[in-house]
Structure 1
Amino acid sequence: MDVVARHLAAIDRLRARDLPAGGAGHHTVELETGHGLRSGDARTVDDLHALRRAIAQRLAARWGETPPWGQLTLRLRLARGESIPEPWATLCLRTDELDLWQTGDRWLAVGVADRDEGDEMQLLATVTRTAPS
């Protein structure tokens, strides 16, 4: 199974999981981890962004094309003290943009967490009932 198909299967399992009752509820999984320099099987940030785009193309074939959803506005709103619901508050601090789809009563977001230079880069997928704000 190729890496994109493996991650799509993980996303499908994530979407099938029950979300906590009462309240928004969300689940975030790490699909892939990268490091600043290629070493062994570790992926670079460019690799993770390319993988995110490949996954987004396949998901767009299922649910339609969507433009990447930039996070700058949410970060500015947080800086002004505005309350942003989870998982969006955390995702906007970790990612610069997300690929985003609404499927039924759930939202699916895929993005690369690479904003913290002191932390590992991660390809993330999140499922939630809370609409992005």
Structure 2
Amino acid sequence: MNIAQHIALIDELCYRPFPAEHGPSDVGVSGPGRHVAVLDAAADDDPARWAVVVDQLEKERDAVRELLASRWGDTTPYGLQTVLLRTAHEEIPGPWAELSMRAGFAHVWEVEGTGRWVAVAVTDRDATQGPLLVALVTEIPPP
């Protein structure tokens, strides 16, 4: 998938209805109030190349961020480490708690007129799953 396809998918998810039940979707997983789309997956799952793969996905994330920022405004990276720490003693909404377990930060926008939030991140915290470039589209504001 190329950057234009990533943007088109994010746009489509901003208007796609949310399913009543959590489960797999044609682009990743979806559930009540959320869609998580895998924009790109590491083609190389060799642990020795982990850093190289993450670097490639981060460059792709930054290209997506630039296009979305030109449309919705520039934002500061949203630190998910703090969200992850808060899950130990606070109820954090599902999509944000799950994203914080998988990524260190995300670029986040509120999409005016849709009631939805978009987050783009590289998930690289789980060594059992290769790094992914993901987009979260949710009606739940970040904590």
Q: Distance in 2 between matches of 1:66 and 1:12?
A: 18
1:8 positional shift: 0.8
When the two structures are superposed, what TM-score results if normalisation uses the length of structure 2? Answer: 0.81
The answer for the alignment partner of 2:23 in structure 1 is: none
The within-5 A match list for 1:56-75 is 56-75=65-84
The answer for the alignment partner of 2:97 in structure 1 is: 89
The answer for the alignment partner of 1:12 in structure 2 is: 11
Q: Distance in 2 between matches of 1:19 and 1:118?
A: 28
Match of 2:124 among 114, 124, 130: 114
The answer for the alignment partner of 2:40 in structure 1 is: 32
Q: Distance in 1 between matches of 2:14 and 2:71?
A: 14
Identity, in percent, stands at 41
1:19 positional shift: 2.5
**What code does the residue aligned with 2:17 have?**
D
Gaps of 5+ in 2: 21-31, 47-51
Q: Distance in 1 between matches of 2:34 and 2:94?
A: 8
1:15 positional shift: 1.3
4+ residue runs of structure 1 moved beyond 4 angstroms? Answer: none
1:6 positional shift: 1.4
When the two structures are superposed, what TM-score results if normalisation uses the length of structure 1? Answer: 0.86
**What code does the residue aligned with 1:129 have?**
E
**What code does the residue aligned with 1:62 have?**
R
Count of residue correspondences: 125
Q: Distance in 1 between matches of 2:101 and 2:9?
A: 24
Q: Distance in 2 between matches of 1:77 and 1:64?
A: 27
**What code does the residue aligned with 1:116 have?**
D
3-state secondary structure, aligned to 1:116: coil
1:99 positional shift: 0.5
RMSD, aligned CA: 1.9
3-state secondary structure, aligned to 1:72: helix
